[in-house]
Amino acid sequence: MKLNRTFKRIMIALLVVIGVFTLAVFIFLQQSSFGAAPSGARLERVKRSPQYVDGAFANQSETPTFTGGGTFFSVMYNFLFTKYERKLPDFVLPSIKRDLGGNSSDKPELTWFGHSSYLLQVNGLNILVDPVFSGRTSPVSWAGTKAFDGADVYKAEDMPRIDVMLISHDHYDHLDYETILKLKDRVGLFVTSLGVGAHLEYWGVPADKIKELDWWETADLNPGMSITAAPARHFSGRGIIRNKTLWSSFVFKTGNYSFYLGGDSGYDKHFAKIGAEYGPFDLAILEDGQYNAFWANIH
């Protein structure tokens, strides 16, 4: 009898701990920085996408997240405990901070802000891509991957008036809550992948300033200026559930110039098709710093 009472107490204590933990996770996930899932008419459009299969977006090719014999646990162990030479720079990264007020040249200018953020200035237009100026890629300001010293010299306040903000997908290192809040009133139009507009609208961006594109869809923005969403091999998600919004690369054409903005992507057959249908390009921006043999399919 005494053993039964002890067992019951242990079970009650365990249930209380589980309940408190579940409640804490639920409350944590209510933060605005996590964004919002597509709903209503936006969700119906998502469901009609050829890329939306069995309740989630999918890549063109089968894409296991981990490669090279890696698993979630082995990758996390390596990340937390394995020491790599020069994993972090032991010096301030060199940088130049310049006036972004406008491009008076008749040639395109590109300013890289570190990682995946850059400003493309061409034909009098300011195109800001995947800006992250909060200093961390995280839903909270007190934890998460921090920018290297020297890679954070630009702030949201340094940006000029933005004609188009281009968001490739909704990961924290491409879609930054604090940056959107600071810049949303100074942006003419947001162009992004299908479903990502739910986050932007939840954060106060008017619906008529958001243009969401499925792969191979084109937005004609001005005479002679267009943005086409093209495939990428990646994934999406800001919380526990993945792939409820799309990820894309983009083809940007204006005047006599043509650009390919690659977003996050592993190698796949889409590159050849994009090049054949939309190339040649004056500039192609392809990310490679995030590559690792353990996740070769998605970077």
Which pLDDT band, with edges at 50, 70 and 90, does 86 fall under? Answer: confident
Query: What pLDDT does 49 receive?
Result: 98
What's the CATH number where 185 sits? 3.60.15.10
Q: Is 76 helix (H, G, I), strand (E, B) or coil?
A: helix
Each residue's pLDDT tens digit, 157-184: 999 999 999 999 999 999 999 999 999 9
Query: What pLDDT does 29 receive?
Result: 63
How many C-alpha atoms does 104 have within 13 Å on its Cβ side?
2
Given a cut of 90, whether residue 196 has pLDDT beyond it is yes
Answer yes or no: is 251 within a domain.
yes
Rounded CA gap, 169 and 237, in Å?
9
Answer yes or no: is 29 within a domain.
no
Rounded CA gap, 181 and 225, in Å?
27
Query: What pLDDT does 198 receive?
Result: 98
Given a cut of 80, whether residue 18 has pLDDT beyond it is no
User: The tokens of 48 are what?
Assistant: 């009609």
Answer yes or no: is 193 within a domain.
yes
- Output the DSSP codes for 190-236: EEEETTTHHHHHHTT--GGGEEEE-TT-EEEEETTEEEEEE--S---
Global pTM exceeds 0.85: yes
Given a cut of 60, whether residue 194 has pLDDT beyond it is yes
Q: How many helices (H) and strands (E) does the chain have?
A: 6, 15
Query: What pLDDT does 153 receive?
Result: 93
By mean pLDDT, which of 11-15, 82-86, 137-141, 176-180 is the weakest? 11-15
Q: Please name the residue that has the structure tokens 């083809």.
A: 251
> Could you tell me which of 263, 124, 140, 239 has the C-alpha nearest to residue 191?
263
Answer yes or no: is 225 within a domain.
yes
Which pLDDT band, with edges at 50, 70 and 90, does 117 fall under? Answer: very high
By mean pLDDT, which of 92-101, 165-174, 191-200 is the weakest? 92-101
Q: How many domains does the chain have?
A: 1
Higher-pLDDT residue of 8 and 78 is: 78
Answer yes or no: is 201 within a domain.
yes
Rounded CA gap, 63 and 81, in Å?
27
Answer yes or no: is 35 within a domain.
no
Residue 8: which H helix or E strand, with range?
helix 2-28
Supply the mean pLDDT for the chain.
90
Residue 276: which H helix or E strand, with range?
helix 270-278
Each residue's pLDDT tens digit, 235-287: 999 988 999 999 999 999 998 999 999 999 999 999 999 999 999 999 999 98
| Domain limits for position 180 | 109-295
With beta carbons less than 8 A apart as the criterion, state whether 150 and 96 touch: no
Residue 31 pairs in a beta bridge with none
